[in-house]
Amino acid sequence: MQTHEIRDRFIQHFVNEGHTEVPSASLILDDPNLLFVNAGMVPFKPYFLGQQNPPFPNGTATSIQKCVRTLDIEEVGITTRHNTFFQMAGNFSFGQYFKEGAIKNAWSLLTSSVEDGGYGLDPERLWVTVYLEDDEAADIWEKNIGLPAERIQRLGMADNYWSMGIPGPCGPSSEIYYDRGPEYGKEGGPVVDDSRYMEIWNLVFMEKERGEGTGKDNFEIVGDLPKKNIDTGLGVERVACLLQDVDNVYETDLLRPVIDAAEKLSGATYGKKHEDDVRFRVIADHSRTGMMLILDGVTPGNEGRGYILRRLLRRIIRSARLLGAQGETMSVFMDTIMDTMTPSYPEIADNRERILKTAVNEEKAFLRTLESGTSLFEEAAASVKASGSTMLAGAQAFTLHDTYGFPIDLTLEMAAEAGLDVDQE
């Protein structure tokens, strides 16, 4: 099942249940605490907090929200499921249905047959987790849905209590996982192996408000929200990975064409060497994220959002070169990803020229930087090794930055590839 159909089925399922379809918000919302929208519920925050009334006739909504998360950028391509841009399909209840409704709705979409509009997943392969103390959710899974007790596991706050990471709405959650089979890892459910058991849907029972704090479990609950709400997030890319029967999210219909294009440009082959595969996946993932960020108005720069975009684009260029591509490659990657994404985001069509120009200009500038800095880096690395050390001196890293425009993370990445550390202190 193609990604656009996975999206359509989700929306249709919840519209049939009376939800109002809401278009994705921009990746950039006016929230000083958030660099990018990173969850489907972000645009709905004032409704959860009771600051505004939800303008939806039944008090329920559904959306496919564009999301960017760049915290684990280093994981891209190494694991099977980390995308920096992804589409979060969600259904939201503002004081209407609660745990039982959310669980039933999710189960029916996942397990209804394809003929009946569902995803047709085998119920025997589905597992869930619930928050340690949440007997109510565990009971619904067992008694109302009929899920065997051994496939209902309990986890603590770090895994099964969701908040935006900042003060705001929060609550216990229940996550739904799909067992990909023994070839993907150890038996024993998601508490044992979250690669084999892939998380596909998070159901958040949004009923509390959190205060300041750090991490996923180190914050205070300051009180109850005015109403009990539902916020869910289904990873569209992960469902695509399962329904398209491919190994990882980078090989799904929207991203695989970029890998194919990178093969042609570089002469390298995907699926032969892990190191190269990671590069191919970085190119596919980052091309899409970069394109979607430019679409929403970000331009490359030296700080904040602009720097994240710059870093993504530069990682594409370096990955392509490490695979063996010569010269400029960006326009091919951008054209390819714009082709695959336009059916779901028709506004790309009106912005093609602008997106292309922004990305290609950044490439031209970076290629000049690389040209001047790379030989200096290599000389420095060689002399470090010749002296029997594995540590690039701080002064050398600084010259690369100051004179040649190498950002420190580029030096760190190149040093790591050469088996060296950098004296950052």
**Angle between helix 408-417 and 394-402 (nearest 10):** 130
The tokens for 280 are 């191919």
With respect to ligand SER, which residue has the nearer C-beta, 204 or 415?
A: 204
- H or E element, residue 367: helix 348-386
Tell me if 90 contacts ligand SER by CB under 6 A. Answer: yes
Tell me if 93 contacts ligand SER by CB under 6 A. Answer: no
Query: If 0-12 CB within 10 Å is exposed, 13-18 middle and 19+ buried, where does residue 69 land?
Result: middle
Tell me if 162 contacts ligand SER by CB under 6 A. Answer: yes
Residue 196, beta-bridge partner list: none
The residue with its CB nearest to ligand SER is 233
Minimum separation from the CB atom of position 42 to ligand SER (A): 8
- Distance between CA 202 and CA 331 in Å, rounded? 36
Tell me if 233 contacts ligand SER by CB under 6 A. Answer: yes
User: What is residue 145's DSSP assignment?
Assistant: I
Minimum separation from the CB atom of position 51 to ligand SER (A): 18
Total of chain residues touching ligand SER, rule CB under 6 A? 10
Tell me if 231 contacts ligand SER by CB under 6 A. Answer: yes
Tell me if 384 contacts ligand SER by CB under 6 A. Answer: no
Task: Supply angle C-alpha 282, 287, 293, rounded to 5.
Answer: 125
Tell me if 300 contacts ligand SER by CB under 6 A. Answer: no
Tell me if 190 contacts ligand SER by CB under 6 A. Answer: no
With respect to ligand SER, which residue has the nearer C-beta, 77 or 90?
A: 90
Q: Which of 204, 309, 355, 370 binds ligand SER (CB under 6 A)?
A: 204
**Is 151:174 a contact under the CB 8 Å cutoff?**
no
Closest to 235 (Cα-Cα) out of 316, 119, 335: 119
**Is 175:201 a contact under the CB 8 Å cutoff?**
yes
Mark residues 36-75: x for contact with ligand SER by CB under 6 A, - for none: ---xxx----------------------------------
Residues at the site binding ligand SER, with contacts judged by CB under 6 A: 39-41, 90, 162, 202, 204, 231-233
